[in-house]
Amino acid sequence: MLADAVGSATHQTPEAPVHAPTIQTVHRDEWCSLVRGFSDHNYRQSWDYAEAMAARAGAVAEHVLVASGDQPLGLASVRVKSMPGTGIAYVSGGPLLRTLDEAGRSSRLDTVLAALVGRYVRERHLVLRVAPTVGEPAWTRDQERAFLSAGFRPAPGVAGYDTIVVDLAPPVEEVRAALASKWRYHLRKAEGADLVLRWGTDASLFDEFRPLFDEFVTRKSFAVELGAEFYGSLQRTLPDHERLYLAIASLDGEPAAGIVLSILGDTAVYLLGASNDAGRRTCAPYLLQWKAINEARARGLRWYDLGGIDRTGNPGVYRFKARTGGIETSAAGPYEIAPGPVRAAAVRTAERVIRTARARRR
């Protein structure tokens, strides 16, 4: 089975037959099995997340496997949006490529990109846009080389992903020592408070988190594209091994702060966080972040992605994340390739119209 091949893949022997790469759509059960063999699996490449995001945009999610015979090479959830006179195929957080055979990942990327371009750009005449995941610097350089060699260019006018990641490999004492002194002070304060933590994947935890988050958003007066309502609904459809993790800190029996995480592949990702007056007074968000770091380490993950940064637009949150001692980094891309300049221009015009309409509805 293909799913077994992913989990046990090593280098092919010289005598092994070489098959021309193929690209094919797969059904949900096969997809949910295959992704477990990829260390770069992330929530954006979850079947249910892709389907939910496609529905929000009036698009269709296609889940494709690129393989050589029975050997999976890569996976991509592709959201296809039709537009007047054109259309766009969008891959967010993919394609997935990193398996046990890390030595061959660069050549796999070349093959997978060629397959995606063949299907969506050459055959279907769509603009193909890809936003890869954050990776180590060497892998980011490999991605940049591969995308440019395949004819992609940086997507004009599309923001990239900047974030801070905490390296979970060192002993926990070193991870804690890397925290800024002020961050450690707030953590000690939270540890000394009478906070009770509950942690898990039960959908009922969203019932407690949602009021915290709604109050937080109202107080901060900012718009959130994907909030507690979206992720709470997603939680009800995700398979058990992909369910989101929530941590709630309570004071005197009442929720004071909460966070939502995705823990997949080799990286945990911080998605949402919120606190009320009691949570801020007791520094509960610091305790919850430390809990997340320890949970990810206990599960053998390598990285904790703090969920994006914006130095100028949100300097307070940036300082909070930067003081964890993590590494400031950026994902490669996003990249784009089009069947011609006319279709590329048509997509950008359609996107401007869509953004304007959304802004008016807010």
Per-residue pLDDT at 2: 36
Residues 86 and 177 in one domain: no
Mean pLDDT, rounded, for 316-327? 94
Q: Are residues 70 and 215 in the same domain?
A: no
> Are 339 and 270 within one domain?
no
Supply the pLDDT for residue 341: 73
- Tokens at 156, concatenated: 């004009």
User: If you average pLDDT over residues 8-12, what whole number do you get?
Assistant: 37
Residues 230 and 127 in one domain: no
List the CATH number of the domain containing 347.
3.40.630.30
Task: Specify the pLDDT at position 13.
Answer: 37
H or E element that contains 253: none
What is the model's pLDDT at position 347?
Answer: 73
How many domains, the chain? 2
Q: Are residues 186 and 128 in the same domain?
A: no
| Averaged pLDDT for residues 1-6 | 34
Give the pairing type, strands 162-167 and 153-154: unpaired
| pLDDT tens per residue across span 142-195 | 999 999 999 999 999 899 999 999 999 999 999 999 999 999 999 999 999 999
- Asked if 199 and 239 sit in the same domain, the reply is yes
Calpha distance 167→147 (Å, rounded) = 27
C-beta pairs of 210-219 under 8 Å, 24+ apart in sequence: 211/255, 212/255, 212/257, 212/258, 212/274, 212/275, 212/276, 212/279, 213/258, 213/272, 213/274, 215/274, 215/276, 216/274, 216/275, 216/276, 217/274
Asked whether the whole model's pTM tops 0.85, one would answer yes
Instruction: Give residue 48's domain range.
Output: 2-160+332-361
Low-confidence winner among 54-58, 92-96, 142-146, 156-160 (lowest mean pLDDT): 156-160
Taken as a whole, the chain contains a residue count of 362
**8 in the same domain as 140:** yes
139 shares its domain with 92: yes
**Residues 352, 205: one domain?**
no
Model confidence pLDDT, tens digit, residues 224-248 = 889 999 999 999 999 999 999 999 9
Identify whether residues 152 and 121 lie together within a single domain. yes
- 285 or 106, greater pLDDT: 285
**Distance set, CA 293 to CA 188, 208, 289, 341 (Å):** 15, 22, 6, 46
> Nearest 5°: CA angle at 307, between 303 and 308?
115
Residues 92 and 26 in one domain: yes
Please check whether residues 155 and 299 belong to one and the same domain. no
